[in-house]
A and B are shown apart, each in its own frame.
Chain A
């Protein structure tokens, strides 16, 4: 039978007032008496009920706003600063809605390896988990991504290799909204509720804005896409207003110097429309002008067709059992090659939308495919691992293997056929681009090196992608340091280099007239370059995560981009207008 003493024990037990010995005794009794265990549960339910009830009650004390120390001197005069501070405090007390209990942000979406650390332990982050003050959210590796949604619709998206700390603060105005970017990059879309964000070098207060923050090694860069940011160097009093279209950067070495506003390099364009794949990252995209269709490879292994005029889906088929990694389209044969994470490569007839051949399974997934100009040969890489420096050539008429050739001492990163000749260029992990010609002889096909033409890259960077211009005269390479370089495809002579992205370049693409080049990178942006002017024409901002590939749509003055945010976006590219804007 339960006694009053039992009640007290149960309540004390839950209030953590028992000694270790008493706990042991009490636990023994719980195991033996169901009624006592039930009593503990009932008491726990009272505790939980009180906890929930407290969260639903309004705060009894008025909110006291404290601005962080770095912002105390926004105004030159101390008195003006004090008056402004009081004004902000009154404004915040009246207009800033502060709920009882912290309105916690939640994880909206993750890709790759994402972890939460609460100071005691680390676990894998998954959709729907709450982020408490003191938690650190980390996106690990090249594919890591996380999107965090706050109750007021503020969204913060973390790029790869980023560590974001949700800091504890006694300041009610920023409770649950004080963030610290230890390293990496993020994009924030802030609602009407103010947010405080700090990095190792700078602090920002903002509301009603969209901005990007990159904190890499010793430099922090903020760029405003909409709204206004108040930016100050860490621990300094003076701040600047960073408006739309401007950026600023700061490092530890510049301490004491005023922050400088810099205009963003090119006009920011926003997409016309987003076509939603919805299944996961869209890693590849091609355009088939003859069919007037955009073709994308989905994370569910499906190939999807999109009509750029009606902007509607135009069918799909299941190409692989896992994400599609690469696509290649042959204009002359109207065939499509697909490569999946399942390591199969399949050639499809796009008229009948049926599989022509499935090539023997590769040792690794092939992330680069290319058709010869007449569409009779498909070149594939055998993997990017150090031992996979081989290129395979396949007949598209019967699916037979024409030959395997060792192209590089280590893995092959990418390859491309010239659209006008039998020239093939391969990019290797050995940081070289090699030129080959395909020659047919009695014994079959031979891949002959063009000995004079080797592009050796700087040891500090790695070539990531390449593309020929439509006339076959130019070759563009994208590098791991964010630069793109143009080469003469006959002499392999370097013509121009642009610093295109703040992070690695993922893909490059020429427009049909060879006047423009689009580059996509891990900084989520797409840049359009005018080759003859040697200038950037526009920056396309819209994808929430990595922009994997861009393709120009012939005759439409538009561009389609595919992103890891599960969308394909269409952009209007009016070259004349962009030149005027510039």
Chain B
């Protein structure tokens, strides 16, 4: 073991899990593959803990491991992954930038607060969609069109995005 103990390493992994997940998801764009890759990243992190120079350097180091795993995943699934390696590198740089602005933990908390403020119908729509119910089925259930379901989901995501940004700005100001 390097400069951090196994317990500290586990804490660091938990702390930055969401940020790593976000980066991997942005690159591969589906949850099962993201979870698979994240598990491999966690294994590599534990196995190569000796290479970690300092606790502060954990996130960039783990993110670099994640980037390599994403590239490796891309090589194996070339047909399904249109992303260019340079895009993955750009996203890797961006996740460092985003994390330096506000940690994923803070962002997640802001998102939960914003979700609470959504109307019940909107929340139910998101729940149904993310539980794997097709847009067609939701449209049938709510007596509307598929197009309007997609539009509503997109609108709600925008509302949530703005709401999260507002809450973060508010936090910085206070």
Contact = CB atoms under 8 A, between A and B. Distances in A.
Contacts of B23: 41, 44
B160 to A, nearest CB: 6
Contacts of B35: 130
B2 interface: no
B126 A42 contact: no
B83 A27 contact: yes
B121 interface: no
Contact of B98 (A27, A41, A129, A130): A41
B32 interface: yes
A60 B127 contact: yes
Interface residues of A, number: 41
Contacts of B158: 7-8, 11
Contacts of A52: 18, 108
B134 to A, nearest CB: 13
Interface in A22-42: 23, 27, 30-31, 34, 37-38, 40-42
A53 B110 CA distance: 12
A41 B111 contact: no
A34 B98 CA distance: 10
A57 B129 CA distance: 13
B26 A60 contact: no
Contacts of A129: 39
Q: Main SS of the interface on chain A?
A: helix
B18 A48 contact: yes
A128 B43 contact: yes
B37 to A, nearest CB: 11
Interface stretch (A13-21, A269-277, A465-473): A13-21
Contacts of A40: 26, 91, 94
B149 to A, nearest CB: 12
Interface string B1-34: 0000000000000000011011101100101100
Contact of A34 (B82, B94, B115, B154): B94
B91 A30 contact: yes
Contact of A11 (B90, B94, B154): B154
B107 interface: yes
Contacts of A44: 22-23, 25-26
B17 to A, nearest CB: 10
A12 B19 CA distance: 21
Interface in B53-99: 76-77, 82-84, 86-87, 89-91, 93-95, 97-98
B111 A46 contact: yes
Interface string A346-389: 00000000000000000000000000000000000000000000
Interface in B109-130: 111-112, 115, 124, 126-127, 130
Given A7-B161, A31-B87, A49 B26 contact: no
A47 interface: yes
Contacts of A91: none
Contacts of A46: 111, 157, 160-161, 164
7 contacts: A30-B90, A34-B97, A40-B26, A44-B26, A46-B160, A48-B22, A128-B42
Task: Give the top 8 A-B pairs by smallest Cβ distance, nearest first.
Answer: A37-B94, A44-B26, A54-B130, A45-B22, A49-B111, A38-B94, A27-B87, A37-B90
Given A41-B91, A130-B39, 11 more contacts: A7-B161, A34-B90, A38-B97, A44-B25, A44-B26, A45-B22, A48-B18, A53-B112, A53-B130, A54-B126, A121-B76
